Structure 1
Amino acid sequence: MNKPAQFTFLFAFAFVLSLTAADKKPATAKPVLRKAVINGSGPGWKQLTGKDFVNVNCHSNTWRWEGGHAYCTGKPVGVIRSKKQIKNFELVCEWMHKKYGGNSGVFAWASPKSIKKLEDGKGRLPDGIEVQVLDLGYAELYEKRHKKKSDWFTSHGDVFPTGPAKFTPFPPVAPNGRRSFPSKNLTLGTNQWNHYYIRAINGEVRLWVNGEEVSGGTGASPAEGYLCLESEGAPVEFKNIRIRLLP
């Protein structure tokens, strides 16, 4: 190869290398999306304390309050209810199970008829829409106790109707078609605080667990009633319970 041809070849080769290097620039990092946690601050929000609830069918010492912090023994199974019935609302709360496999819940729109039955000593839990508050160990204990799979519930924020209440769950849906299963598993275990944001408007209920929307449904009947906190066998705590009533 003569010198002019050799020079031309080297120049072309260097040019190709420069283009290749330009194509290998480090990829731009994707922005990190932050979770939005609604904490119940702002106009219209009100903190709930023991003064805002009435005992329905628990013992006098089942629930103990220190300001906005509720301590529940879990015994007996039963509920406390809001003093007034509510319709459209937003609710935030933090909850923590104190025993492995603990069970509890928040009832939206518990029917007055079912509450009256409980007050008369008939039954344990009201009819309405329940937002499950379940410890991560519940499935393991259920399978050991009943010798069958726990595929009909989760510990990450199921939303479902109880009794004769009606509800069309958002997918994914439990095998029985009644429960809205969470789209993500975000619940933290025993002795760790979890954050719920519940939005209930015109028969539609949506649940955010620890900052992310995971479950819900629509077509709830009843779509008005009492707000209830549930005692179901194991100690559980609630705090920072705040509500905003909506038109």
Structure 2
Amino acid sequence: MNTIYRLLLIVLFLFSQNNNAQKRIALFNQKDLKGWYAFGEEAGKHNNAADLFSVANKMIRMYGPKAGYLMSEQSFRYFELTVEYRWNTDANFVKKNNSKNSGVMYLVPSETPDVLWPKGIQFQIKEGATGDFVFLQEVTLNINGTKITPGKSVVSKRFADAEKPIGEWNKLIITSKNGVITQKLNGKLVNQGTESSVTEGRVLLQYEGFPIDFRKVCIKKSK
């Protein structure tokens, strides 16, 4: 292999790596909550998300006496969203209740008002139900050829269980493209559907009363 050919291969490899890196966006920089705003049950909207939630040890830490969420400032259309989470069982963290219930919402339209909980699709994170779809505020999806009946909050059960024991980190991956939605948990397909009635929107991390930590939150755009 001559020198010119080697150099060409190196250039092509670097171009490919750079192109992939450009498509992947870290929504959480592991330092602060830049790029997010917060909404609380009674506190309302806070452009300074640190008013309600915190960052420590490269983690988003969500806890406290009131429910709320973090909302991304950016909207996305076709994407692969990766989020890592774990339940925080440290008794020093204030909680609203003992129900291990949370979620990652996506495709939350930019025009939808801030309420608990806004229009969009939720990847349910809940003890005994992680991986369920929750369709909020009339959102619909076809699952196994049947259209979900629209409603305020409609659940479609997961296909399989894949959540790790309490306290361990879990990795969920959500893909959305051309109305096709898939949800994976720890490498296992847990839900999927087609013909989504929402195809573009923001990402939302839920706090429903039991402390939860998020660390990796990144999104890869697709064409």
Asked whether the two chains share a fold, i.e. TM above 0.5, the reply is: yes
Aligned: 1:53 with 2:56: no
Greater share of residues in strand: 2
- Given that 1:167 and 1:219 are in contact with CA atoms closer than 8 Å, whether structure 2 keeps it comes out as yes
| Aligned AA (2:39) | V
In structure 2, the CA distance between the partners of 1:206 and 1:170, relative to structure 1 (3 Å rule), is: farther
Partner of 1:193: 169
- Paired AA for residue 244 in structure 1: K
CA shift, 1:173, in A, is 11
Higher helix share: 1
1:64-96: per-residue Cα shift (whole Å, max 9, x none)? 124752110054222221112111111111111
- Structure 2 residue runs of 5 or longer lacking an equivalent are 1-19, 44-49, 90-97
Q: Which residue of 2 aligns with 1:89?
A: 79
Q: Identify if the C-alpha distance between structure 1 residues 67 and 111 changes in structure 2 by more than 3 Å, giving closer, same or farther.
A: farther
Unaligned segments of structure 1, at least 5 residues: 1-41, 137-154
User: Are the counterparts in 2 of residues 200 and 206 from structure 1 also a CA contact under 8 Å?
Assistant: yes
CA distance in 2, matches of 1:236, 1:173: 32
Change (3 A) 1:173 1:164: closer
8 A contact 1:86–1:226 mirrored in 2: yes
TM-score of the superposition, structure 1-length normalised? 0.65
Q: Which has the larger radius of gyration?
A: 1
Residues 204 and 160 of structure 1: CA distance in aligned 2, closer, same or farther (over 3 Å): farther
User: Number of paired residues?
Assistant: 182
1:157 maps to 131
Q: CA RMSD in A?
A: 2.8
The one-letter code of the counterpart of 1:47 is A
Contact 1:160–1:167 at 8 Å: present in 2 too?
no
Q: Is the 8 A contact 2:40 2:52 kept in 1?
A: no
1:113 partner letter: E
Structure 2 residue aligned with 1:169:
143
Alignment of 1:115-194 (within 5 A): 116=113, 118=114, 123-136=115-128, 155-170=129-144, 178-194=154-170
User: What is the CA–CA distance in structure 2 between the aligned matches of 1:57 and 1:221, rounded to whole Å?
Assistant: 27
For residues 1-247 of structure 1, the aligned pairs below 5 Å read 43=21, 44-49=23-28, 50-57=33-40, 60-66=50-56, 68-73=58-63, 75-99=65-89, 101-114=99-112, 116=113, 118=114, 123-136=115-128, 155-170=129-144, 178-247=154-223
Q: Measure the CA separation in 2 of the matches of 1:95 and 1:173.
A: 30
- Could you tell me how far 1:61 is from its partner in structure 2? 4.2
What is the rounded CA distance, in whole Å, between the counterparts of 2:139 and 2:39 in structure 1? 19
Normalising by structure 2, we get a TM-score of 0.71
CA distance in structure 2 between the partners assigned to 1:245 and 1:193 by the alignment: 24
